A = this chain, B = another copy of it.
Amino acid sequence: MTLLSNTSAAEPHRDEPKKKVILFQGDSITDAGRDRKRQSANDPRGLGRGYPMLVAGRLLADAPGLHVHNRGISGNKVPDLQNRWQADCLDVKPDVLSILIGVNDIWHKLNGRYEGTVEDYANGYRELLTQTMEALPDTRIVICEPFVLKCGAVNDKWFPEFDERREAALALANDLKLTVVPFQTMFNKALEDAPPQHWAGDGVHPSLAGHSLMAKTWCEVVLKSK
């Protein structure tokens, strides 16, 4: 677990090793049916049924000193994260913070429930990240690439704006030198093995197979193993 090491933190007493904290943030894809009243680390009901739970399932076998939290909330866009960031991110003080946000920023716009532009997304996301980097300078931030599969609810109206938002997230990560988990690239490649519906029936919310692929890729990219 060396990639989770937080070398600048004060060393805890040797008999009470500090738990490393991984926090997953995002929308319904991250939320994945979690029980929001259960906020203890490593609680299966609190972690939901998606990739955060499966990442925990891959890591906890070998890392007893790991605390995994999920604070994704269904329907969230960048402004929603901003509104709850102090309590749901900064106060959690993660060693690794993983964020997946963007699909509702366009989906709700297509549904007429939101008016934010690509520029709003990029600017709001940059504010969120710079605020986090200032408040938690030792936290490793992981940007998950927003993705869609071309099936279900996802039609031609989503493009090119979805891709512009996706590229804005990647540009931000590049600019701020943050780790990227390339979920769109991953799903595009997975289409060689199975049709889009296998990975996400509505084009947005992954099946167990989709979440499984996300968890594997997340671990490979962030931990270079598992």
- Please state if B61 and A213 are interface contacts (CB–CB under 8 Å): yes
- Contact call B54/A57, Cβ cutoff below 8 A: yes
Which of chain B's residues have a CB closer than 8 A to the CB of A49?
44-45, 49, 53
> Judging by beta carbons under 8 Å apart, are B208 and A42 in contact?
yes
Copies per assembly: 2
The answer to whether A215 has its CB under 8 Å from any CB of chain B is: yes
Is A43 interfacial (CB 8 A cutoff)? yes
Given contacts A44-B49, A49-B45, is CB(A57)–CB(B194) below 8 Å?
A: no
A61 touches B194 (CB 8 A): no
Q: Interface on chain A toward B: helix, strand, loop, or mixed SS?
A: helix
Instruction: Give the complex CA separation of A60 and B198 in angstroms.
Output: 11
**A42-B207, A49-B44, A49-B45 in contact; A212/B64 too (CB < 8 A)?**
no
| Neighbouring B residues of A58 by C-beta, 8 Å | 57-58, 212, 216
B43 A208 Cβ-Cβ under 8 A: yes
Known: A57-B54, A57-B215. A64 touches B198 (CB 8 A): yes
Nearest-neighbour CB distance to chain B for A154, whole angstroms, equals 20
In the complex formed, the residue of B with least CB distance to A195 is: B64
Contact A216/B61 with A54-B54, A56-B208, A208-B56 known, Cβ cut-off 8 Å:
yes
Evaluate contact between B208 and A57: CB separation under 8 angstroms.
yes
What's the Cα separation between A43 and B56 when bound, in Å? 19
Give Cα A64 to B58, complex, Å: 19
Q: Which residues in A have some Cβ–Cβ distance to B below 8 Å? A: 33, 42-45, 47, 49-50, 53-54, 56-62, 64, 193-194, 198, 207-209, 211-213, 215-217
Jot down 6 A-B pairs with beta carbons below 8 A, ordered by A: A33-B44, A44-B50, A57-B58, A57-B212, A58-B216, A64-B193
Given pairs A58-B58, A61-B217, 9 additional interface contacts (CB within 8 A): A42-B208, A44-B208, A54-B54, A60-B213, A61-B212, A61-B213, A61-B215, A62-B216, A64-B193
